[in-house]
Amino acid sequence: MPRSTCHSVTVQFGDCDPAGIVFFPNFSRWMDAASLSFFMQCGIPPWRELVKTRGIVGTPLLEIHTRFVTAATYGQTLEIATHVEEWRAKVFVQLHRITRREADGRETLVCEGRETRAFVRRDPEDPDRLRAIPVPEDLRSLCQ
């Protein structure tokens, strides 16, 4: 079983659109927070430390794929369960399942997202460019 972490979010009024439901880019925002929370719970230092010690700027996205199952609204608490589904040479796929606990105790799936990410450094010759690096073994082993 791969390591899995949990990240909790309470939906705010301003997270919702005129239809009264979560404006969906907020789910992307929360999955990004869950992604970083996963790394921090696994013991990886924040990017602002890693950029100083190892030049790693973060794990930008190459691809996202999200399926929305049920709408959510403000006042509700969402749980995001995160694990790495697949490690490849230069990329990895993180899976986020966002669920809500109902009044009757059941757990409802709100949405599910896959993020393909890579660790990146700044290009030494053009610091405005970010370059994917092979997944660092030590960081990977912390996440398993």
Residues designated catalytic = 17
Q: Which is nearer to a second copy, 5 or 28 (CB)?
A: 28
Smallest distance, Å, CB 28 to a second copy? Answer: 4
Q: Which residue has the tokens 């994917």?
A: 132
Q: Which is nearer to a second copy, 1 or 43 (CB)?
A: 43
Q: Which is nearer to a second copy, 74 or 83 (CB)?
A: 74
Residues 73, 94 contacting (CB under 8 angstroms): no
Write out the residues near a second copy by the rule CB under 8 A: 12-14, 16-21, 23-26, 28-29, 32-33, 36, 40, 46-48, 57-58, 60-68, 71, 73-75, 128, 130
Smallest distance, Å, CB 1 to a second copy? Answer: 27
Burial of 45: CB neighbours in 10 Å, binned 0-12, 13-18, 19+ = middle
Smallest distance, Å, CB 89 to a second copy? Answer: 19
What are the residues facing 5 on neighbouring strands? 82
Q: Which is nearer to a second copy, 32 or 84 (CB)?
A: 32
Q: Provide DSSP, 30-84.
A: HHHHHHHHHHHHTTPPPHHHHHHHT-EEE--EEEEEEEE-S---TT-EEEEEEEE
- Tell me the C-alpha distance between 73 and 18, whole Å: 11
Smallest distance, Å, CB 88 to a second copy? Answer: 16
Q: Is 9 helix (H, G, I), strand (E, B) or coil?
A: strand
